[in-house]
Structure 1
Amino acid sequence: MTAVTGDRGYHASLSRPGDQGAAACRTVQYSCPQSHEFAVPFSGDADVPLTWECRMHGTASKRIDGSEPEQKKAKPPRTHWDMLVERRTIPELDELLNQRLDALREKK
């Protein structure tokens, strides 16, 4: 039940006759890499994350009763060559290389 103090000095209740009690709550235990264990309260219907930031160390802590988080498949980094080959064919690249080499030879 919550009370608000009005300007007349009395407390007016914000609760309604049909209000239920507190929402369902559950506590989940986490353990950080530095062996610090702590609990985090969640709503009963909340999706509980597998990792949580440790309040003392700031490191990613894992759920004690949870499984390992799935590792996402990482794309291999695209190189400049990969991007070039997407835009041009090998014969086109050979022709451009020869043109640039001829231009450089003429400058000498």
Structure 2
Amino acid sequence: MASGNAIRGSRVGAGPMGEAERGESAPRTRISFWCSNGHETQPSFAGDAQVPDTWDCPRCGFPAGKDRDSPPDPPRTEPYKTHLAYVRERRSDADGEAILAEALAKLRGEI
């Protein structure tokens, strides 16, 4: 007994599709980019698109440039800093002592 679903087993885009039914493809350009690890990437761009100067390498994530002999330098990563390290950058030890003395005076009820 049929389930009553007339288009069972088909999906959008299914069926014989050829160049005649889709139309012509847009002209494409493949550009080579190289990262500092020597990986080559060849993304495809539309013929009239503006090609960027750098492209992210899909293998290592470093920036890649069009010049094979001088690829862009990898990004410099900052080491992880704690909240206390950021506070110490903003305040001197004398400032910290003054703030601590003021907070202790408030707790003791002196202010």
Q: Same fold (TM over 0.5)?
A: no
In proportion to residue count, which structure has more strand? 1
**TM-score bin, normalised by smaller chain:** 0.3 to 0.5
Q: TM-score, normalised by structure 2?
A: 0.42
